[in-house]
Amino acid sequence: MKRPPRGYPADHSRTDLLRHRSLIAARPLGCEEWLHTPEAVARVLSAAADLDALLMWLVRNVKRAP
């Protein structure tokens, strides 16, 4: 995206961030031995739960474009 989204001024203080269309948060889990055991579900769910704080921050602070 070369310009900020529609509804935002070109000189918005966060234009560099407004141009992004997506956000990815990841944690490498590798291909450890536990990946092929029943323990894998618990580990993956735990890693996903760690992202909860980020998700809640986004919900509170990121508003829809005007």
Residue 52 forms part of a structural domain: yes
- Check pLDDT > 80 for residue 7: yes
- Whether the pLDDT of residue 66 is over 80: the answer is no
Q: Is residue 10 part of a domain?
A: no
- Tell me whether residue 55 is in a domain: yes
pLDDT score of 4: 80
pLDDT digits (tens, 9 = 90+) for 16-62: 888 888 888 888 888 888 888 999 999 889 988 989 999 999 889 88
DSSP 3: S
- Whether 8 maps to a domain, the answer reads no
Residue 66, domain member (yes or no): no
Backbone φ and ψ of 23, nearest 5°: -140, 135
Residue 44 counted as domain residue: yes
Q: Could you tell me if residue 3 is inside a domain?
A: no
CB 5 within 8 A of CB 12: no
Does residue 5 belong to any structural domain of this protein?
Answer: no
In this prediction, residue 42 carries a pLDDT of: 92
pLDDT value at residue 23: 86
Per the structure, the count of domains in the chain is 1
pTM for the whole thing?
A: 0.52
Give me the domain span that covers residue 35: 15-61
Task: Give burial (CB, 10 Å; 0-12/13-18/19+) of 61.
Answer: exposed
